[in-house]
Amino acid sequence: MDIDKKQIEHLLSLARIHISEKEEKKIGQDLSQILNYINQLNEVDTENVEPMAGGSLLNNVSCEDKRNLSENDSLKLIQAAPKNDGQYIIVPPIF
């Protein structure tokens, strides 16, 4: 499947990206290859293939939360911060 210049320009305008003519040509070729590969995948017969329930065959692995620092160690770390109120580290607001 070939992508024409008009379609590429439309995608670039949606993404608000400005690139050179040479880059447009390369992106067009790359997108065409991707779409051709997807078309190949669509040709695969999956009628008797059972869908997977998840993305992995692995079981969820978790571990118990354990406190590695003593109360005294935690307080030392907090007090080492540039700004603190004794129990918490004070950081500037981000919003």
Find out whether 87 and 79 touch, Cβ atoms under 8 Å. Answer: no
- Domain 5-42 grouped into CATH 1.10.3470: no
Q: CA 88, CA 67: separation in Å to the nearest integer?
A: 17
Per DSSP, helices labelled H in 43-88 are 71-80
**pLDDT per residue as tens, the chain (95 positions):** 788 899 999 999 999 999 999 999 999 999 999 999 999 998 988 888 887 776 666 677 788 888 777 878 888 889 999 999 988 999 998 87
Residue 89 carries which DSSP code?
B
Phi, psi (deg, nearest 5) at residue 92: -70, 150
Q: What is the pTM of this model?
A: 0.48
Domain ranges of the chain: 5-42
Question: Percentage helix, strand, coil, to 5, in the chain?
Answer: 45, 0, 55
